[in-house]
Structure formats: structure tokens, C-alpha cells
Structure 1
Amino acid sequence: MGLRFSANLGFLWADRPLPDAIRAAKAAGFDAVELHWPYETPADEVKAALDETGLPCLGLNTLRGETNGLSAIPGQTREARAAIDRGIAYAREIGAGALHVMAGFAEGPQAEAAFRENLAYACEAAPDLTILIEPLNRYDAPGYFLTTTGQAVVLIDALERENLKLMFDCYHVQIMEGDLTRRFGEVRRAVGHVQFAGVPDRGPPDAGEIAFDRLLPALDWDGPLGAEYKPGEDTDVTLGWMSAFR
């Protein structure tokens, strides 16, 4: 089977109402979609567009608030779990498969304890969903709690929850760790989703320092690969990479 791609509608067709963005992804030839923070759009409208197009929704994020997430913020347990509950409910309403639990800007042992407790809560509250955690690079998200795949895998191993997985975003991992092919192989057992974008500007993936046309087929991953890049212009104009990569 050739490569399959998911359109991240947090960036692609972000100028359109979410149901129309889903339809645009279908028309462009994507195999799935994924969302950032869809909560302002009624779930039944999103579900109707998904049903109409036949595209699966791979996942969405918990609310980020003012701290880029809440689940690693000490003293914010109630707020963090409210965001988790809201994300779980929305995911179930639209039939999404995963929820990315955002950690937030925090550091230290108390932050780690809070994150572990809230991730355990999410995993137990939604055994039907994959709970994802994603390292973000320190340049785009200075102060974010989770920054490397190694840190994420330690958390995943410690919590021992079957539905807790790593979001391997090639863009963030390249900036923080590099050596993407080898690093992916080292953490493959923990990976729950893969995303990509051009480095260093997070633009279209057919520009920048990574040869995604060679990297992506080399990864041991048969799920849809998430295109999470900033188009910088009309999304449709930037999609030449998709047929070229396939």
C-alpha cells in the first residue's frame, strides 16, 4: 500500500469553516483529517461533514488555554480534567480516534507528577481512545513541559497504559533531536501517530532540510501521516508534494 495522508485542519484550509475544510481535504485527495481545537464548531456539523466525505478523523487536542495546555500545570487539576472530559466527549461525538492531551508551560517534579496523574485519568476515562502526548520544540514553545521523545517514552513506560502513545511529529523531533529515521526506530513501540512539516519554517514539506519523499516511506508506519504545516498561501496551491511523495 502506498503512503496515506491526513490533513491537519488546524493549519490547512484554516480560513474556511471546519465542515468546508473537511470537504476540501476530501476533494484534494487526503485519506483522513485531524483537528486542533474544533470546539467552537458544533460536533454534529463536523460529524455530518465526516459522514458525507467518508473521511476518518484521527484526533484532536485538549484546549490549550493561556498556558498551551493544562495537564502539567500544578494546582490546575480541576481545569485540566475538565479540558480532558470536553475533549473526550467531542471526540466521541464525531468518532475521532485519539485525543492529544496538552501538557502546558511548566517544569520540575510537581509538573511531572501533575502530568502523570492527569494522563492516567485520561487513559482510564477513555479506554476507547488513544491518548497522545507530543514533545514540542523549545524554540516554538519555550517552557513547554514535554520536549523530547525520550522524555515522552519514560512517561509512557512508567504509566503502563495500553492506550497512551507518542505523537511523533517529525518537525519538532528534527529540531530537538535530529536523526529522524534512527530515532523513530528507537521509539516505534510507543508511537501512536506521525506528523510532518518542512523544517525549519514549518512550511510545506517539499521544501526545507528534510527529504520527506525519502524519509516517510522509510518509516515503519502504515497509518495516515499527518500533514501539519503552515501553507503560507492558499492551501490548494501547496499540495504538489502529495502526488510526488506517493
Structure 2
Amino acid sequence: MSALKFSANLGFLWKDLPLPEAIRAAHAAGFDAVECHWPYAVPEDELRAALSETALPMLGLNTRIGGDGDIGLSALPGRAVEARGAIDEAIDYADAIDAQAIHVMAGRAAGAAAAEQFADNLRYACAQTRRTILIEPLNRHDAPGYFLSSTDQARQVIETVAAPNLKLMFDCYHVARSEGDVTTRLRHLLPFVGHIQFAGVPGRGNPDESELHHPTVFAAIRAMGWTRPLGAEYRPAGATEDSLDWLAAERRAAIG
């Protein structure tokens, strides 16, 4: 059985450590890559040093969320200047640390004007970089009012923008909470997918404490031929090191 690769999302894992130290902890724990949310307060050279030392790729980062309650800016009518400033900042930081992708966060909005604004800002983002631009539907339980709330809607946005570097961030947790039938949806959407994430359902905790059976999901992803790291974006109940039984189990399963 071929081994899946896994990325530690340092927005949740080793959150108690400074980001460069969290990268080193992820390497020590056996992860194949890392990703983060908002690294902007950390000097770029400190992250470059940790990434170089560990030889871990940085898969991605997010645009800033904006003000209190915004959860992003890019679908908010009348705030294009702020949104594009956040996009520029994210691209510059991604260039500095060689992050592979940038998640452009939409924000809380609805309607035709928001859809048009989001598409325009995504076109702008895709034109500014060759890096992958990601969009991610968030479930309505955790992010009520978020503009992008389903994989069907995300696919429509990707088809409307029609940029080759615009892809879907398929988070198994959000899809399970909002839509269900995770592996079937992933199989149908695979040509649009740029990154896959996972967490326990419904509480976003450890993946081995979940209604969604992650060994089955991982086996299905492996059968689809996915070879890039899967993002572990869950909230450990205690120390991150104590939450990694699932990773050890996957490593054992790959050995046979």
C-alpha cells in the first residue's frame, strides 16, 4: 500500500509554539509538509530558516480576515481596495517563504454584487501570481453567513473565473458538516481540487475521534491517485504530540 503524505496545519497544531518552532515540531513528529493561517507577524527570514532546516514545504497561507467578524474581504462589495491589499500582502509573503498556495478568504456576504466582487478579486489574485489560488467553502455551523458555503458554489466560481491557477480547497470536515457524502463529492470534484484537509466531525477534534471514518476516507483518496500531502487541520484536545495516534496508524497501515 502506498503511503499518504500529511501536512501539519500550524494554525491549530502546536499553536502554543512560535511558528518557526512549530515547523520544527512538525518535522520531528514525521509530517511531510506544513501549512499555516496568518503568518504575517513572523519575520520572513525566521520562517525561511525553519523551512530550510527541516526541508518541509510550506503548502499555503491565508489572506487576512479583515476586521472583527469579517472572515475575509474578497466578496465584500465596496471593499475591493482592502481585499486586494490583503491579496498583495499574501502573495508577497508567499513569495518570500515559497509557499505553494494562497487561500483567498471571501468573508460574510451574499447576493449578486458579492458574487461579482469575489470573482473580480479572484481574477486579480490569479493574474498577480503563478502560485495556486485556493477558495474554500466553510460550513454554516462554524461560519454563518460566509459567502462560500458549498462545493457546488465553489465549482461555479472556479468555472466563472476560468483561471488555470484557481483551485478548490476541499476540507473533508466542512463538507461532512454541510453536505455529507464526502468521498463521492471529492471524486466528482477532483479535477478542481488544489488541496485537501481533514478533521474530526462534528467537533473538529482529532481525526480518530470522529463520526467520519478517516481510514476509509484516506483509502478512498489513495485510490483516487492523490499524491500531495493532506492537511491535518484539527484542534487537539491537549498537547499536539498526544493527538497523533492517527498518524502512527496510517504509517503502520502503509507498511502493511
Please name the residue that 1:6 is paired with: 7
Structure 2 SS opposite 1:68:
coil
Answer yes or no: is 1:62 the counterpart of 2:67.
no
Aligned residues: 245
Query: Which position in structure 2 is the counterpart of 1:96?
Result: 99
- Whether 2:159 is the aligned partner of 1:154: answer no
TM-score (norm 2): 0.95
Per the alignment, residue 234 of structure 2 pairs with 229
**1:217 partner SS:** helix
In 1, Cα distance between the equivalents of 2:246 and 2:80? 42
1:81 to 84, 95, 98: 84
State the 1:177 CA deviation. Answer: 0.6
Q: Deviations over 1:21-44 (max 9, x none)?
A: 000000000000001000000111
1:52 aligned residue:
53
TM-score (structure 1 length as normaliser): 0.98
Q: What is the rounded CA distance, in whole Å, between the counterparts of 1:131 and 1:3 in structure 2? A: 23
Which residue does the alignment assign to 1:240?
Answer: 245
Query: What is the aligned counterpart of 1:115 among 118, 123, 126?
Result: 118
Matched to 2:125, the amino acid is A
Asked if the contact 1:213–1:244 (Cα under 8 Å) also holds between the matched residues in 2, the reply is: no
Note the aligned Cα RMSD (angstroms). 0.6
Q: Displacement of 1:54 after TM fit?
A: 0.3
Aligned-residue offset at 1:160 = 1.0
Moved over 6 A (4+): none
* CA distance in 2: counterparts of 1:182 and 1:245, whole angstroms: 22
CA shift digits 1:215-246 (9 cap, x unpaired): 11212221100000000211001001101123
- CA deviation digits over 1:163-195, x for unaligned, max 9? 000000000000111001111111111000000
1:65 to partner: Cα distance:
1.7
1:144 to 143, 146, 171: 146
The unaligned stretches of length 5 or more in structure 1 are none
Secondary structure of the structure 2 residue equivalent to 1:33: strand
Identity across matched positions, percent = 58
CA displacement at 1:156 relative to structure 2: 0.5
